[in-house]
Amino acid sequence: MSDCLFCKILAGEVPSDKVYEDDKMYVFKDIHPKADVHLLAIPRVHIASLNEVNDEHDEIMAHMIKMLPRIAKEQGLDDGFRTIINTGKGGGQLVFHLHIHLLGGSNLPGFQ
Ligand code: AMP
Ligand code: ZN
């Protein structure tokens, strides 16, 4: 996906503040943080949104979910954290490469 911002970040064509990476996922700081800690976890493969997830992605999705608590703890979020996945325009999704927001810290905004 040559015009996908997060694919460009994965390719190193757009700079990002890396927090964690492995063969399946990449985690970096959100450029407009909404809390003390605001990370984005993305799969290395281009999946546009949760709507496009299928059986082929079982391993990647399970891996990403499993890694989030470990990454949160490494960020000092011992008390807990919030995850958000915006899906589609109606869900407020702006970047169409699946991403899991990981938020936490003392400035965690209210959830309405
Ligand atoms: P969403 O509304 O769920 O699609 O969220 C997209 C998120 O990507 C927003 O929180 C943006 O602040 C974030 N974002 C956009 N461009 C960049 C970038 N170049 N580096 C890091 N985060 C970004
Ligand atoms: Zn992409």
Per-residue pLDDT of 14-73, as tens digits, reads 999 999 999 999 999 999 999 999 999 999 999 999 999 999 999 999 999 999 999 999
Beta bridge partners of residue 9, listed in sequence order: none
**Is residue 10 predicted with pLDDT exceeding 70?**
yes
Helix/strand/coil for 72:
helix
Residue 74: predicted pLDDT: 97
**Is ligand 1 within 6 A of the CB of residue 95?**
yes
**Is ligand 1 within 6 A of the CB of residue 30?**
yes
Counting from 1 in the atom list of ligand 1, the atom nearest the Cα of 84 is 3
Residue 1: predicted pLDDT: 57
Q: What pTM does this model have?
A: 0.96
Read off the tokens for 72.
């949160």
Counting from 1 in the atom list of ligand 1, the atom nearest the Cα of 15 is 19
Distance between CA atoms of residues 40 and 42, nearest Å: 6
pLDDT one-digit tens code per residue, 63-83:
999 999 999 999 999 999 999
Beta bridge partners of residue 111, listed in sequence order: none
